[in-house]
């Protein structure tokens, strides 16, 4: 499991438009890397819209927001268009990055156990080091928590 103070694992994934996005190319910027279970579901939509609504402030402070789920590029494009998301959401259908970051695991819903993506976020600083890991994300105030914790 990754810990705060470790270097964030590098990756390249395609965004909702099919364009590659590389974490390595974002060195020098702060990155909010948020993992979420599924496009267009209630909690994931609230979280994405909360980040969308505060995107201009985050951008002014030099922060790049990247969402990742195991959904396809096509699913991401529909989700992004429907909610006018103003940041990249990356497709990880092979589960390489969710495994690399330790967010793929056993979940439970109504007593039923299954494997899925945990809703975790990583704040990665300009040097590529993980400053903070959120394992309990409040979807309706996630961007406010990020702003406060990073002192933006």
Catalytic residue numbers?
Answer: 44
DSSP per-residue letters across 44-70: HHHHHHHHHHTHHHHHHTTEEEEEEES
- What is the spatial distance between Cα 148 and Cα 21, in angstroms, rounded to a whole number? 27
pLDDT greater than 90 at residue 125: yes
The pLDDT, as a whole number, for residue 150 is 86
How is the chain split among helix, strand and coil, in percent rounded to 5?
30, 30, 40
What is the pLDDT averaged over residues 59-82? 95
Q: Is residue 143 part of a domain?
A: yes
CATH code at position 24:
3.40.30.10
Q: Is residue 125 part of a domain?
A: yes
Which residues span the domain enclosing 106?
Answer: 12-149
Q: What is the pTM of this model?
A: 0.93
The count of domains in the chain is: 1
In the chain, % of residues over pLDDT 90: 78
């Amino acid at each position: 499991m990754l810990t705060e103070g470790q270097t964030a694992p590098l990756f390249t994934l395609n965004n909702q438009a099919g364009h590659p996005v590389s974490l390595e190319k974002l060195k020098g910027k702060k990155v909010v890397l948020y993992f979420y279970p599924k496009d267009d579901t209630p909690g994931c939509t609230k979280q994405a819209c909360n980040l969308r609504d505060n995107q201009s402030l985050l951008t002014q402070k030099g922060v790049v927001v990247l969402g990742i789920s195991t959904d396809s590029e096509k699913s991401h494009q529909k989700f992004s268009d429907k909610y006018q998301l103003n940041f990249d959401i990356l497709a990880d259908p092979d589960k390489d990055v969710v495994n690399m970051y330790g967010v793929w695991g056993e979940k439970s819903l109504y007593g039923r156990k299954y494997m899925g993506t945990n809703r975790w976020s990583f704040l990665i600083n300009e040097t590529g080091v993980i400053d903070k890991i959120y394992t309990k994300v409040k979807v309706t105030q996630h961007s406010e928590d990020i702003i406060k914790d990073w002192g933006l």
